[in-house]
Homo-oligomer: A and B are copies of this chain.
Amino acid sequence: MKERVEKLIESLEKNNLDAIFLTKAPNVYYFSGASPLAGGYLLVTKAGPTLYVPELEYEMAKEESIVDVEKFKRMDELYEKLKGIEVLGVEGTISYSFIADLKEKAKIKEFKKIDDTIKELRIIKSREELEIIEKACEIADKAVMAAIEEVTEGKREREVAAKVEYLMKMNGAEKPAFDTIIASGYRSALPHGVASDKRIEKGDLVVIDLGALYNHYNSDITRTIVVGSPSDKQKEIYEIVLEAQKKAVEAAKPGMTAKELDSIARDIIKEYGYGEYFIHSLGHGVGLEIHEWPRISQYDETILKEGMVITIEPGIYIPKFGGVRIEDTIVITKSGAKRLTKTERELI
């Protein structure tokens, strides 16, 4: 973890920065090892890094952090510490208000975005990170298999979600990576159909999309099933999505762009005439954040490299009728890609 901060320090000179100031929790964790709930600010100067936390987070941050920790009672104390810095590197996510305060109260003269420096580091997962993500995927696999068992006629979507989230936690997850999606019947056509009070009915397509947050890292998997026997149309769109998903997983490898990978699945779905019903990108990076770089979409030309972790999740959503999505979390390897979520895909 120490090498990470060293890379930030090296970047100061390269980018003509007096310091870097990180406010976003996953970044603060990545570089310090601490995750103060009420906020923590990592200041990196040529002299080294310091983590500033509110008083109530001080004891825990000291336990977790690999860098020096200082506490403050009011933000004004923090702004005092920043005085003298003229050019500050910040994340694009820092708020408009925070920038205004840094200008006015800490007298910062110029801000430069340092997102690319952080992206370059975080987008490639180390062996240690991959081991954690594999474990997060294992918990998600178990949960999705439990959900497949739990989905039965008459049960409410929310009950299924409650059960599998409980299981994930008992299996070591800190919490769900995101609000568990159990979307049945017409709701399966809503890509973000978070589990509701709707009762599951016979003949429903049911999209199950869940993930586990384990040791700060996320996993993400989707499976779709039918309650009872599938109709011809349900089978048809399932087969198309399955083919698109498998072909994209097989094709993924270092050297290709995210856009090229997106096209592999998108073109298959288009050829079958369902292009207009695939209304999102093929996937996204997964790590400390559930959605991170690269975006596997028509608008991201990032070149895939060994150690990137992404999802492959094509879908077809037909309003009122229902939808199908099949998703795995995969890692780009030396010569191809490896599925980290492993639940069977032939479910309809």
- Chain A residues with a Cβ under 8 A of chain B: 36-38, 54-60, 74, 90-100, 111, 113, 115, 158-159, 161-163, 165-166, 169-170, 172, 174-176, 179, 189-194, 279-280, 299, 317, 319
Contacts and interface: CB of A to CB of B under 8 A. Distances in A.
10 cross-chain pairs, A with B, having the tightest CB-CB distances, nearest first: A92-B97, A162-B169, A166-B166, A37-B192, A56-B191, A56-B280, A55-B279, A60-B190, A56-B279, A94-B96
Given A93-B96, A174-B194, 19 more contacts: A37-B179, A37-B194, A38-B192, A54-B280, A56-B191, A56-B279, A57-B192, A58-B279, A90-B96, A91-B96, A93-B95, A95-B96, A96-B96, A96-B113, A159-B170, A165-B165, A165-B166, A174-B179, A175-B176
Contacts of A59: 189-190, 317, 319
Contacts of A299: 74
A193 B60 contact: yes
A190 B92 CA distance: 31
Chain copies in complex = 2
A102 to B, nearest CB: 10
B95 A92 contact: yes
Contact of A169 (B37, B56, B158): B158
Contacts of A38: 192
Contacts of A95: 92-96
A58 B91 CA distance: 30
A169 B165 contact: yes
Nearest to A192: B37
Contacts of A113: 96-97
A331 B96 CA distance: 32
Contacts of A319: 59
A115 B97 CA distance: 10
Contacts of A176: 175
20 contacts: A36-B192, A37-B192, A38-B192, A55-B279, A56-B279, A56-B280, A57-B191, A58-B279, A74-B299, A93-B96, A94-B95, A95-B96, A96-B96, A96-B111, A96-B113, A97-B115, A158-B169, A159-B170, A165-B166, A165-B169
A162 B189 CA distance: 30
Contacts of A58: 279
